[in-house]
Amino acid sequence: MPKMRVAQISHAKGPFELVERDIPEPPSGKVRVKVQACGVCHSDSVTKDGLFPGIEYPRVPGHEIIGTVDAAGPGVVGWQPGQRVGVGWHGGNCGYCDNCRNGDAFACQTETLVTGISHDGGYAEYMIAPTTALARVPDDLTSVEAAPLMCAGITTFNALRNSGARAGEVVAVLGLGGLGHLGVQFAVKLGFKTIAIARGADKAPLAQQLGAHQYIDSQVEDPAEGLQKLGGAKVILATATSGAAMNAVQGGLAVRGTLLIVGVPDSLNINPLPLILGSRSVKGWYSGTSIDSQQTLAFSALTGVRSMNEIYPLARAAEAYNRMMSGEARFRVVLTMEG
Ligand SMILES: [Zn+2]
Ligand SMILES: [Zn+2]
């Protein structure tokens, strides 16, 4: 039996273990993906620390996967061995429940399939994925370039393109980390007047490099006042994980503006009066499904949006994960399966 290496967690809060397993055969409706690269995401802590109920261990994390279809199970149509594919957080959907048929496959009622949580993910040389989880990958993105776009990319791109903001309107991106550094690039390429907000003068050159039209250093300027000077933001994409930072920007929303939350703070205080008086809203955004991932990859290839990455081999998965969790990575961490 041919073997593969995986980096698994064998119990909640347990360490990464690099082990050999049999290479699995794809069952009906699923393909085997030979993984080339897998991004390391903060949400991998769900698997590492057992943050969702019912996770079955051992479990292989990883939901920013790029590889090639290696084998197809019975009944698979439309996907061929050798084809390059991406697999993200959305781990598949049934296609027949009311939400799926209503175009809300992300909220499939039959099964909640999340790659690397409900089934094994991409910290591995091979993984199994349902065809409903597959995205096509453009030739002009390398696998390392494409991997972080499968979660950090789709989350920010899909939130922004569905935000209701129109070309030329003010869109602020709060936070310049793994999500934010992509969010700024996407906002610029989508045609918004893009304002980056972060802490510290040292982030100003980065904001400029990413294409932001203006940078607000929230340590020296009240970000809400800064945005109101520009007429207010139609959308503030909140990628930071600080509730205090989100509290500080909400006063910067324009009339009918939306605070669009994709980062997860512990708690959030919202002042209701400006919401009511200005018909403003606070909204969350789910990352997206496989077709959203595919469109994220295509848009990134077309417009030159790229993640800045630190690269580690699979054998150093524990180190790569710790690097990501430290918050020091510039800006995403990606595992490669060679070596
Ligand atoms: Zn993620
Ligand atoms: Zn469904």
270 — pLDDT class (breaks 50, 70, 90): very high
Q: What residues flank ion ligand 2 with Cβ within 5 A?
A: 93-94, 97, 100, 108, 110
Which CA distances in Å does 119 have to 63, 111, 154, 192, 280?
10, 12, 21, 38, 39
Instruction: Tell me what the mean pLDDT of segment 151-179 comes to.
Output: 97
Query: What is the CA 73 to chain-centroid distance, rounded?
Result: 28
Which CA distances in Å does 288 have to 50, 95, 104, 161, 170?
23, 15, 9, 12, 24
pLDDT at 339 (0 to 100) = 55
SS3 171: strand
Ligand 2 centroid to Cα of residue 133, in Å, is 12
Ligand 2 centroid to Cα of residue 179, in Å, is 28
Question: Do 103 and 76 form a contact (C-beta atoms < 8 A)?
Answer: no
Ligand 2 centroid to Cα of residue 101, in Å, is 7
Instruction: Tell me what the mean pLDDT of segment 178-203 comes to.
Output: 97
Looking up tokens 């696998």 gives 143
Ligand 1 centroid to Cα of residue 63, in Å, is 6
Ligand 2 centroid to Cα of residue 195, in Å, is 38
Amino acid occupying residue 69: V
Q: Kindly tell me the burial class for residue 160, based on how many C-beta atoms sit within 10 Å of its own C-beta (0-12, 13-18, 19 or more).
A: buried
pLDDT at 202 (0 to 100) = 95
97 — pLDDT class (breaks 50, 70, 90): very high
Of all ligands present, the nearest one to the C-alpha of 101 is 2
For the chain, the average pLDDT equals 96
- Residue 105 CB contacts under 8 Å (≥ 6 apart), including other chains: 90, 93, 95, 99, 132, 289
- Condensed to tens digits (0 to 9), the pLDDT of residues 115-157 reads 999 999 999 999 999 999 999 999 999 999 999 999 999 999 9
Instruction: Tell me what the mean pLDDT of segment 98-121 comes to.
Output: 94
Ligand 1 centroid to Cα of residue 113, in Å, is 14
Ligand 2 centroid to Cα of residue 86, in Å, is 20
288 — pLDDT class (breaks 50, 70, 90): very high
Structure tokens at 224: 């809400």
Of all ligands present, the nearest one to the C-alpha of 288 is 1
- Condensed to tens digits (0 to 9), the pLDDT of residues 54-92 reads 999 999 999 999 999 999 999 999 999 999 999 999 999
Ligand 2 centroid to Cα of residue 96, in Å, is 5
Instruction: Tell me what the mean pLDDT of segment 307-325 comes to.
Output: 97
- Phi then psi dihedrals of residue 79, to 5 deg: -135, 130
Ligand 1 centroid to Cα of residue 158, in Å, is 14
111 — pLDDT class (breaks 50, 70, 90): confident
Of all ligands present, the nearest one to the C-alpha of 105 is 2
Question: Do 324 and 331 form a contact (C-beta atoms < 8 A)?
Answer: no
**The length of the chain, given as a count of residues:** 339
Ligand 2 centroid to Cα of residue 127, in Å, is 22
Ligand 2 centroid to Cα of residue 118, in Å, is 15
Of all ligands present, the nearest one to the C-alpha of 262 is 1
Peptide bond into 331 cis (omega under 30): yes
How would you classify residue 321: left for phi > 0, otherwise alpha for psi between -120 and 50, otherwise beta? alpha
Instruction: Tell me what the mean pLDDT of segment 199-207 comes to.
Output: 96
Ligand 1 centroid to Cα of residue 155, in Å, is 8
Peptide bond into 58 cis (omega under 30): yes
Of all ligands present, the nearest one to the C-alpha of 152 is 1
